[in-house]
Amino acid sequence: MIVKENSNKDIYKGDLSTFLTQIKVDPSKGLTDDEVISKREIFGANVLKEKKKKSIFERIFDQFKDFMVIILIIASVVSGLLGEWIDSIVIIAIVIVNAILGIAQEGKAEKAIEALQKMSAPNAKVIRNNKLIIIPASEIVPGDVCILEAGDIVPADLRLIESSSLKAEEASLTGESVPVEKSHSIIINNDVSLGDRVNMCFMSTAITYGRGKGMVISTGHATEIGSIANRLQDIKEEPTPLQRNLNELGKWLGIICLIVCAVVFAHGVIMGGKIIDVFMTAVSLAVAAIPEGLPAVVTIVLALGMRRMADKHAIMKQLLAVETLGSVDVICSDKTGTLTQNEMTVTRAWANNSVYQLTGQGYGPKGEILDADGKTIGQIDIESPLYRLFHIGALCNDAKLVKGEGDMYSIIGDPTEAAMVVGSEKLGISSEEMSEVHPRTNDLPFDSERKMMTTFHEGIHEEGVTTSYTKGGPDVILSNCESIFTAKGIIPLTPELRATVLKNNHELASAALRVLAFAFKENSSEISFEAEKSMTFVGLMGMIDPERPEARDAIALCTKAGIRAVMITGDYKDTAVAIAKNLGLMKEGSGVMTGPELDQISDEELLKVVEITSVYARVSPDHKVRIVTALRQNGHIASMTGDGVNDAMALKRADIGVAMGITGTEVAKGTANMILTDDNFATIVAAVREGRIIYSNIRKFVGFLLSCNVGEILVIFITSILLGPKFSPLLPIQLLWLNLVTDSFPALALGREKGEKDIMDEKPRSSKESIINRPMIYSILVQSAAIFIAVFGAFQVGRYLYPDSGGEPSMHARTFAFVALICAELLRAFSCRSEHASVFKLGFFSNRYLTSASLLSVVLVLIVVYVPFLQPIFSTNALSISDWGVVVGFALIPFVVGELYKLIRRVLLKSKK
């Protein structure tokens, strides 16, 4: 083959005979098996080049980069060197479990994406060895001769060698929403843009009309789509807000931990304590200071959130991106298929000077015909203009309606023509049955110059007479008509009647409907373009891609949540604005911008425009990049939807890129953070709500862990300062067991909170806001102080009831402190279920996970307190009923303080409002 990989940039130039001479492949016979094998060895499989995946060792290493994890590993090593193997094993086990969870979840996300790619991988019809065969598109090689028909996905870049009324949907590549007419006979000699290379078809675009044959000139990453995909590899991924927050939290905790440990160690040595004992106390304090369960709990909570989102048709590719959704304050959405159903529907018809309404949505042929007064029309006279209108729509048509399982319907062909087929079915006119009774004898395909399509049928109105049916633009059809079909029969089309038609056409178009006109002509002469002259006008059909019913509610919820929804579409301005108004997306003062208008303004001007614009119409994928860049520069957390390869740049630039799972290209899916398996805007909003719940839950258990751990620090640090290092109320092994009991199970249970009812009433948080904000800091300080008071009080009462022995506190006293601290933290977990609402309002036991986790923790405490052979290991003694009364009484202090703190805060916030 002369044309080599990546040398095809000018292959669209020149005439067809020159191209075929260069290729040296017989279009009628195709390649031989030997040629296919040879070319596959040279060019490889016809698949897009994937980004190099990380090895298992790189993934494992990534899990141990976190500053907090590094400190835990150091603490584990130190404990092991000092002979505290139990301590060391417990810490390292937590780190390993966290790493395993992270690696496993990444693997699940990759498998989900691979599954989607396989689902959308098309087959291809090719000529090989002089035979037409169907093969997987991945097996296509340069030189293959492909057959293209309506409904096919183009398997590779190819030059057309035959074509008949061929149209291709190239929105995935060029952003153009209207199918492009293709022709093998067009000769191009100059450099033209991709969208103007009408003698070629490109990989992953869809054939919507006609048929053709093409010679493959590029496959895989050498195609136009592949070259764009390759450019995406250079875009650097930025850390999510949660990543930045957790990294910052880890650093501060590490610094504070080292400072406190150094002070405790120095104080202990100065006070005459044994260096080894003092050092172990400092190490145990480090374990208490660092919430070692935090990385594991965050990973598990994000993984659970990812699973819940998948159940709601949103597949998240990255764990941390799940939380980022919670801070989104602008959602930029496509119109077609996301805010609308992507199913053109005839909703209005005009015939015999009457307007009719068609009910029902989508491609399901169910609905009623209503007259101007809204009354249902029963049996329709087959001689009426309304029946004739839809009769023409059914026959002058190349689309097919396909019934699937249940009441599911799909189409083959152009969506506009499919809408006519469905509309005809609602009147009881079956296009298939009509085509059998009145077969098509010939046709004049639609072209951009005539703006009409005509089909010829025999014996419709009179035996032996050919009748032509024509549809097209109202102005064109009307200008070629000299009569009109009415209930009284065919009458002359007077200027007054023409004005009436134009008036009704304007009214339909003003309602953002796409309007087509229909006419017929009875011909006794041979078939020619004369059939499209001196026709009889019949009527108009108005159709629209209806909005999704759930989209309006989703946009209203966005408004309530302080999230601005923005429509970005390649459609026309009037249509976009009409849909936006119907959905409630346009607010007072909302602006509208078109692609050409965007081209006229600078990036600096765009920074102001994006703050007031709700609808962008006739935009290209490059415009999307500019819009999302401007939004981010203004400090917004922006979500962007897209399905095309060119959209991938905007998806990558957005904080959350959302790809369409049904209509999206592989590159868009591979670039996005989230994939919608139902292409539904409401799913994005549901995912944002889930993201808010996850972030709220993360805050809850971060606040819980830190208040408990700071409380533990105060218990050891202040007590050691006041009473000396020998009188530490808690031993290292007790601290480790305590952290296992309280830091893991209850914290994980807090991450399973369902979310508070008013979570979407709150405004989006700032991307710069720290996870530990001022209210949380105050709460942590109040709670940790209450925990210290409770444990120190229990410890002192224990010393009073069970006096010290040998210059150290009794095991009973330490058991008082140990059990009081665990009980206080478990009760604290219930109070942490909401940062502002009372736990009694939520329902004390409504979180069954927390109830179960608390019961398990209590059992673990009872085991080390009452099992005889464990008592020496954990330095505990059995407590009596009266002892439990003292311990529980002190343990209630932090819980009561926490509930009072929330009450005071609610009162203060209410007074400010």
Q: By the 8 A CB rule, do 145 and 126 touch?
A: yes
Taking alpha carbons only, the member of 806, 778, 809, 781 closest to residue 795 is 809
pLDDT band of residue 824 (cuts 50, 70, 90) is very high
109: which residues sit within 8 A by CB, 6+ positions away? Answer: 306, 315, 316, 317, 318, 319
Q: Which residue among the candidates 66, 152, 157, 334 is catalytic per the annotation?
A: 334
DSSP state at residue 808: B
- Cβ neighbours of 657 (radius 10 Å): 27
State the pLDDT at residue 913.
59
**pLDDT, the chain, mean:** 82
Q: Is 334 a catalytic residue?
A: yes
Distance CA 172, CA 663 (A): 9
State the pLDDT at residue 447.
73
* pTM, two decimal places: 0.68
Residue 725 has pLDDT above 80, yes or no: no
Question: DSSP letters of 783-835?
Answer: HHHHHHHHHHHHHHHHHHHS--BTTB--HHHHHHHHHHHHHHHHHHHHHTT-S
Distance CA 664, CA 233 (A): 19
| Mean pLDDT, range 90-95, rounded to an integer | 67
Taking alpha carbons only, the member of 314, 338, 333 closest to residue 547 is 338
Distance CA 189, CA 18 (A): 12
Taking alpha carbons only, the member of 17, 84, 58 closest to residue 287 is 84
- Cβ neighbours of 799 (radius 10 Å): 20
pLDDT band of residue 388 (cuts 50, 70, 90) is very high
Residue 1 has pLDDT above 50, yes or no: no
**Pair of tokens at residue 219:** 């496959």
- 587-630: per-residue pLDDT in tens? 888 889 988 899 899 999 999 999 999 999 888 777 888 999 99
pLDDT band of residue 75 (cuts 50, 70, 90) is low
- 425-483: per-residue pLDDT in tens? 998 888 888 888 888 888 888 776 678 999 998 777 677 778 999 999 899 999 999 99
Distance CA 420, CA 424 (A): 6
Residue 111 has pLDDT above 50, yes or no: no
Residue 7 has pLDDT above 50, yes or no: no
**Pair of tokens at residue 871:** 């008592």
493: which residues sit within 8 A by CB, 6+ positions away? Answer: 478, 481, 482, 483, 484, 537
Lowest-confidence pick of 225-239, 247-261, 356-370, 880-894: 225-239
pLDDT band of residue 574 (cuts 50, 70, 90) is confident
State the pLDDT at residue 519.
96
| Mean pLDDT, range 773-790, rounded to an integer | 90
State the pLDDT at residue 821.
93
Angle between helices 811-831 and 848-866 (to 10 degrees): 180
- 467-481: per-residue pLDDT in tens? 999 999 899 999 999
Residue 91 has pLDDT above 60, yes or no: yes
State the pLDDT at residue 652.
83
- 324-352: per-residue pLDDT in tens? 788 899 999 888 778 888 788 999 999 99
Residue 227 has pLDDT above 80, yes or no: no
Residue 185 has pLDDT above 70, yes or no: yes
Lowest-confidence pick of 193-197, 578-582, 675-679: 193-197
- 847-896: per-residue pLDDT in tens? 898 999 899 989 988 999 999 988 888 888 999 999 999 999 999 999 99
Percent share of the chain, pLDDT over 90: 25
State the pLDDT at residue 250.
67
Beta-strand runs (E) in 571-665: 591-594, 613-617, 638-642, 656-660
More confident residue, 212 or 573: 212
